[in-house]
Amino acid sequence: MASQESTHIRVPTPKFRVAICGGGPGGLALAVTLLRAADRAAPVAIDIYEAAPELATVGAGISVWPRTRALLEELGVMEGLRGEIGAGHEGDGRERRSLGFTFRKSDQPQASKNFFELQVPTDPLLLHRSALLEALKRGLNVPSASTCTVHTSSRLVSYTSAESGGVTLHFTGGATAHADVLVGADGVRSAVRQTMFSSHSPPVQPRWTGVVAYRSLVRKEDLERLAKGHQAGKRAMVVNNNHNAQHLVTYPISRGEDINFVGFYTVPGAYESKASYPGKWVRDVPVEDVKACYEGWEDEVQAVTKCVKKATAWGIHVMDDVPRCVDGPVAILGDAMHAMETHFGAGGGQAMEDAYILGRILAHPRTALYSQSGKVDVGTALKVYERVRFRFASSLVEKTRVVGKLYEFANGWEPEPDLAWAKRWGEEVTNLWKWQWDIALGKDWLAAEKMLLDEAGRTLEARL
Ligand SMILES: Cc1cc2nc3c(=O)[nH]c(=O)nc-3n(C[C@H](O)[C@H](O)[C@H](O)COP(=O)(O)OP(=O)(O)OC[C@H]3O[C@@H](n4cnc5c(N)ncnc54)[C@H](O)[C@@H]3O)c2cc1C
């Protein structure tokens, strides 16, 4: 491996070795959970294999909503996020007193008004991605009975079953490594998933949604100079249009210094015809392309696009056909399993939720390498993870698409000038968003633990 950073303390022999492929939000959250939840008597050895030369991320924003925020609290990650936007307000988890997104129709030259505010029980965390990644990385250094080694510049190509049990990991350049459990947290183009379904027909692969997202960071001071007090610097906004399937999302990040800019347009018919995305999935684009996309929109939008200094275009792909997320001692999580469109701001959150449930299951005292009296083997433990997470997280892929269409007034939601229409539209959006706070992640963990204990109980019955 090209580089290794490690955290070692004297510990009992690990019960098994977990290889995590990918050091994004999902992979790091899994390592942090395994370290935090470690069983002193039977810790685990963790290896993170990351393709990039360091654990880093793209320069863009990320929003985190109540369900996921709860796990960041529990893992101690929130400590590293103090001072970030939204970090100061926890709410009581029920009363919806915080402002989520504000919606406004903007595809006309005349100034319009905000027409709906999405209320949520806890302020969303509005962050630069590097802030989240740094906070997760800090979580790798907590004192723990388990150990974690990070291997950067280690791109997994495939894996094979090892004769001695577990899996052999194969990396570019020919290096190999062994693990008892392999978790693919390697994103939408996952090599772990590709190996898992290499002989599956039809092929399991990312599908282009027809959506392209322009991403940029706007300096708040630039916007203030142009339009003092502009609301994009203060609140999360979705500005919609009634034609051409476009919308624009902005929210302040980096403690208020930058504004995260994501502008969407859709290529008609591309999703339905299962077209391949032309060219590189992420590429630099001239700022003129971004400005042209919003030509003729109200001044409020023009002010923001004028401040875009550089931009990238992302072909948005989803994973909507993954048949399962576990195969023997191998599991996938996050975008590898359920890459979704971005309209709930939840893909990263769901990756971390997968990681949290999976990490707690693997670290649990009732999980062992092999089945024993009162303990389940890792294969059974991974199946519990699949039962709790697979259907729930995968269902969000379609739900996200539906809410995105609503933002663009599709499917019969033609805007009407009366308040009653805005109320109905807002209720529809709120109903679609509700899962972000209605169903607590803690309940999912309790369900997972019960399944695990039931399985462990069966090992006792089998021995009677
Ligand atoms: C425009 C846009 C806006 C978004 N906004 C939000 C938001 O507000 N909130 C939110 O929660 N989500 C958001 N998302 C989604 C979010 O970015 C992803 O869902 C999230 O990054 C997935 O995390 P992950 O850990 O599964 O994968 P990734 O973040 O893709 O991380 C995968 C890691 O694996 C590494 N890797 C890849 N292949 C290999 C290999 N073969 N071997 C070793 N390492 C490998 C990569 O280098 C990377 O570090 C947005 C996405 C987009 C495109």
pLDDT digits (tens, 9 = 90+) for 47-56: 999 999 999 8
**Residue-level pLDDT at 12:** 82
Token representation of residue 169: 């990991």
CA dihedral 38, 44, 48, 54 (to 10 degrees): 50
37 burial level (CB within 10 Å; 0-12, 13-18, 19+)? buried
Residue 92's contacts (CB-CB under 8 Å, 6 or more residues apart) are 121
The confidence band for 95, taking pLDDT boundaries of 50, 70 and 90, is low
Residue 179 has pLDDT above 70, yes or no: yes
**Residue-level pLDDT at 4:** 54
Do residues 28 and 57 touch, judged by C-beta distance below 8 A?
Answer: no
Ligand 1 atom closest to Cα of residue 316? 53
Q: How far is the CA of 187 from the centre of ligand 1 (A)?
A: 5
Residue 11 has pLDDT above 70, yes or no: no
pLDDT (average), residues 147-168: 95
Q: Supply the residue whose CA is at minimum distance from atom 39 of ligand 1.
A: 186
**Residue-level pLDDT at 460:** 82
**Hey, which residues does 315 pair with through a beta bridge?**
212
Ligand 1 atom closest to Cα of residue 190? 38
**Residue-level pLDDT at 372:** 92
Ligand 1 atom closest to Cα of residue 27? 25
The confidence band for 461, taking pLDDT boundaries of 50, 70 and 90, is confident
| Cα–Cα distance measured from residue 205 to residue 192, given in angstroms and rounded to the nearest whole number | 12
CATH class entry, domain 207-318: alpha beta
- Assembly ipTM: 0.99
**Residue-level pLDDT at 1:** 34
Pocket of ligand 1 (CB under 6 A): 21-27, 49-52, 62-63, 155-156, 185-187, 191, 213, 215, 262, 314, 316, 334-335, 342, 345-349, 351
**HSE (side-chain half, CA atoms, 13 Å) at 192:** 33
Ligand 1 atom closest to Cα of residue 336? 26
Q: How far is the CA of 397 from the centre of ligand 1 (A)?
A: 15
Q: How far is the CA of 297 from the centre of ligand 1 (A)?
A: 31
Token representation of residue 435: 């899962």
pLDDT (average), residues 19-41: 97
Q: Supply the residue whose CA is at minimum distance from atom 2 of ligand 1.
A: 342
- Chain-wide mean pLDDT for the chain? 93
Q: Supply the residue whose CA is at minimum distance from atom 20 of ligand 1.
A: 348
Ligand 1 atom closest to Cα of residue 29? 25
Widest distance between CA atoms in the chain? 78
**Residue-level pLDDT at 243:** 64
Q: How far is the CA of 180 from the centre of ligand 1 (A)?
A: 25
Residue to mutate, 50, 253, 312, ligand 1, most ligand atoms under 8 Å from C-beta: 50
Q: How far is the CA of 22 from the centre of ligand 1 (A)?
A: 9
pLDDT (average), residues 265-280: 93
**In the chain, % of residues over pLDDT 70:** 95
| Cα–Cα distance measured from residue 180 to residue 18, given in angstroms and rounded to the nearest whole number | 6
CA dihedral 93, 359, 14, 168 (to 10 degrees): -160
CATH class entry, domain 3-58+130-202+324-417+442-463: alpha beta
pLDDT (average), residues 41-49: 96
Count, in order, helices (H) and strands (E) of the chain. Answer: 13, 22
Higher-confidence position of 206 and 94 = 206
Report the SS3 class of residue 462: helix
Residue 268 has pLDDT above 50, yes or no: yes
pLDDT digits (tens, 9 = 90+) for 373-394: 999 999 999 999 999 999 999 9
**Residue-level pLDDT at 2:** 37
Q: How far is the CA of 213 from the centre of ligand 1 (A)?
A: 15
Residue 147 has pLDDT above 80, yes or no: yes
Q: How far is the CA of 409 from the centre of ligand 1 (A)?
A: 28
Q: How far is the CA of 25 from the centre of ligand 1 (A)?
A: 7
Q: Supply the residue whose CA is at minimum distance from atom 38 of ligand 1.
A: 186
Do residues 388 and 356 touch, judged by C-beta distance below 8 A?
Answer: no
pLDDT (average), residues 236-264: 90
Answer left, alpha or beta for residue 60, where phi above 0 means left and psi between -120 and 50 means alpha. beta
pLDDT (average), residues 133-148: 94
**Residue-level pLDDT at 366:** 97
**Residue-level pLDDT at 365:** 97
**Residue-level pLDDT at 410:** 87
Do residues 456 and 377 touch, judged by C-beta distance below 8 A?
Answer: no
Token representation of residue 90: 């926890």
Residue-range domain boundaries for the chain: 3-58+130-202+324-417+442-463, 207-318
Q: How far is the CA of 443 from the centre of ligand 1 (A)?
A: 25
pLDDT digits (tens, 9 = 90+) for 294-344: 999 999 999 999 999 999 999 999 999 999 999 999 999 999 999 999 999
Residue to mutate, 33, 63, 153, 186, ligand 1, most ligand atoms under 8 Å from C-beta: 186
pLDDT digits (tens, 9 = 90+) for 192-225: 999 999 999 999 999 999 999 999 999 999 999 9
Q: How far is the CA of 194 from the centre of ligand 1 (A)?
A: 17
What is the phi/psi pair of residue 119, to 5°?
-95, 135
| Cα–Cα distance measured from residue 212 to residue 245, given in angstroms and rounded to the nearest whole number | 11
Q: How far is the CA of 389 from the centre of ligand 1 (A)?
A: 18
Residue to mutate, 129, 152, 322, 342, ligand 1, most ligand atoms under 8 Å from C-beta: 342
